[in-house]
Amino acid sequence: MRRTRRNTIRAAAAASVLALVATSCSAGADRDENTVRIVYQKFGTFIAMDSLMRQVKEGFEEANPDVTVELNAIEAQAEDYQTQVNLMNGSPSEAPDLMYQDTFTINQDADAGYLMPLDDHFAAWDESDRFSEQEAEAVTSLDGQRYGVMLGTDVRGLWYNTELLEEAGVETPWTPATWDEVLDAARAVRSEHGDGVVPLNVYSGTPAGEMASLQGFQMLLSGTEDTLFDDGSEQWVTSSTGFSDSLEFVRTIFDEDLTHDPQDALDANVGTVNNEERFPSGEMAISLEGSWATQSWIEGANQPWPEWEEVMEFTPMPTQNGQGAGATSMSGGWALSMGSNATDPDLAWEVMTYALSQENALKFAVEGGQIPVRSDVAEDPAFLEAAPKAEEFAALVDITGFRPAYSEYPRISLAVQEAMESVMLGQATPEEAAEVYAQEVEGIVGPDNVTTGS
């Protein structure tokens, strides 16, 4: 029932955008060359981009009275946001000049012809040398062209409430060395606090979307000896021990009542509720979450929590048995890209670089809980003072991993979410879910593009 309702909501959203596109096309509307249309996501706790874009609009229009910066904020989850942007890109009259996008979608959007290469513009920009190699890798597609400029990046680890752990007899600062130590802390919280506290949040299931497949599953899988994709052979990995072990971790926390009730875990707003309500009210002890969680608590947030620095700490997610570097992380990050239907690419680039300036990048890094990709922001005393966890986050950059940014990835990601959901609901064992996943992957990419894991 839950998934049917979610698909109905998506269908309704898609239909409304299609109607808008059809109306515009039938009207034969011409694009104003002096208007730069920007589309971006505004959802839940993710308010930093809306704040930035409003500042960009005000500042750029003041300096350029003949230009209009048109803001299109889409209030939707990441997957639904992407669907709506794709529909807009299907009509030249509705397509954005600039779009805010998760970097893992760049390849699929470039393949679809939605994006304009930015190599020449970026090379001529006198501030291009302030961006990191990591940034370049994230926005360069498989065809070798740059299709965006990142606003910031992130890492993932374990946020925890020190008071709740200490009351449960867990020593802080807490630095778990293995998965078992993470589970033991959650068990201690459950024993001490009972049903009043969620011991451990690991995003899981299809409503959580990419939060489940990246923040949940791939954070676990990256701590094993296996991977989702083998870079050497350029094949997707299935039937691996690490895949089944990661699903076993999910099974354990749900079977032992160490996490949300499935109904709460399958709430599409679970991330917002966790960070805006459960953590501040002392109703959640540990969460496998991103570095950006602080944007839920700072001044100007939907639900400011001034005391968070006195209560919350961040620690790396350990590898399964403490092997390798002992800890793991996954990184993402969002970028600004230019649409292939941009009315005036040079003007759109001016607006884009204005949004990416040192001043604006600093604002976004502080308010969005980001790791800067501009060197002058990362070294800015204003950033270091306003970002108390900057050192802890930066320490994970050298060991962090990235999603395989292939066009097939979104469908692979959904298959991962479905595997997690079947396990968390007790509909399949980890081994059974892994087998179904293997069959789905082979159907998506073909048998020649699949390899068997350890």
The string of pLDDT tens digits covering residues 152-172 is 999 999 999 999 999 999 999
Q: Is the pLDDT reported for residue 185 higher than 50?
A: yes
The pLDDT value given to residue 22: 40
Q: Is the pLDDT reported for residue 338 higher than 80?
A: yes
Q: Report the alpha-carbon distance of residue 275 to residue 303 in Å, rounded.
A: 9
Q: Give how many domains the chain has, as a whole number.
A: 2
> What are the φ/ψ torsions at residue 321 (nearest 5 degrees)?
-120, 20
| Range 421-448 average pLDDT | 98
Domain boundary among 367, 385, 402: 402
The pLDDT value given to residue 44: 65
Q: Report the alpha-carbon distance of residue 259 to residue 244 in Å, rounded.
A: 19
| Range 179-202 average pLDDT | 98
What does the pLDDT look like over 122-159, one tens digit per residue?
A: 999 999 999 988 799 889 988 899 999 999 999 999 99
What does the pLDDT look like over 61-100, one tens digit per residue?
A: 999 999 999 999 999 887 789 999 999 999 999 999 999 9
Q: Is the pLDDT reported for residue 408 higher than 50?
A: yes
Say if 2 falls within a structural domain.
no
The pLDDT value given to residue 391: 86
Q: Report the alpha-carbon distance of residue 313 to residue 315 in Å, rounded.
A: 7
Q: 280 and 259: one domain?
A: yes
Q: 222 and 339: one domain?
A: no
Q: 109 and 173: one domain?
A: no
Q: 236 and 373: one domain?
A: no
| Range 386-404 average pLDDT | 89
Say if 26 falls within a structural domain.
no
Q: What is the mean pLDDT of the chain?
A: 91
Q: 107 and 187: one domain?
A: no
Say if 149 falls within a structural domain.
yes
The pLDDT value given to residue 20: 39
Q: 319 and 178: one domain?
A: yes
Q: Ranked by mean pLDDT, which of 12-21, 342-351, 374-383, 388-397 comes out on top?
A: 342-351
Q: 299 and 192: one domain?
A: yes
Say if 4 falls within a structural domain.
no
Q: 318 and 215: one domain?
A: yes
Instruction: Name which of 1-10, 21-30, 148-157, 237-246 the model is least confident about.
Output: 1-10
Q: Report the alpha-carbon distance of residue 352 to residue 148 in Å, rounded.
A: 10
What is the identity of the amino acid at 106? I
pTM for the whole structure: 0.85
Q: Is the pLDDT reported for residue 19 higher than 50?
A: no
Q: Is the pLDDT reported for residue 348 higher than 60?
A: yes
The pLDDT value given to residue 429: 98
Q: 139 and 234: one domain?
A: no
What does the pLDDT look like over 410-427, one tens digit per residue?
A: 899 999 999 999 999 999
Q: Report the alpha-carbon distance of residue 342 to residue 97 in Å, rounded.
A: 4
Q: 110 and 195: one domain?
A: no
Domain boundary among 386, 402, 418: 402
Q: 175 and 293: one domain?
A: yes
Q: Report the alpha-carbon distance of residue 337 to residue 242 in Å, rounded.
A: 35
The pLDDT value given to residue 317: 98
Q: Is the pLDDT reported for residue 301 higher than 90?
A: no
The pLDDT value given to residue 46: 67
Q: Which class for 62: exposed (0-12), middle (13-18), buried (19 or more C-beta within 10 A)?
A: exposed
The pLDDT value given to residue 9: 34
Q: 236 and 299: one domain?
A: yes
What does the pLDDT look like over 30-52, one tens digit per residue?
A: 789 999 999 999 876 567 899 99
Say if 20 falls within a structural domain.
no
Domain containing 69 equals 31-154+332-402
Q: Which of 267, 213, 241 is nearest to 404 (CA)?
A: 213
Say if 360 falls within a structural domain.
yes
The pLDDT value given to residue 182: 98
Q: Report the alpha-carbon distance of residue 184 to residue 195 in Å, rounded.
A: 17
CATH number of the domain bearing residue 128:
3.40.190.10
Q: Which of 164, 94, 113, 183 is nearest to 312 (CA)?
A: 164
| Range 250-269 average pLDDT | 97
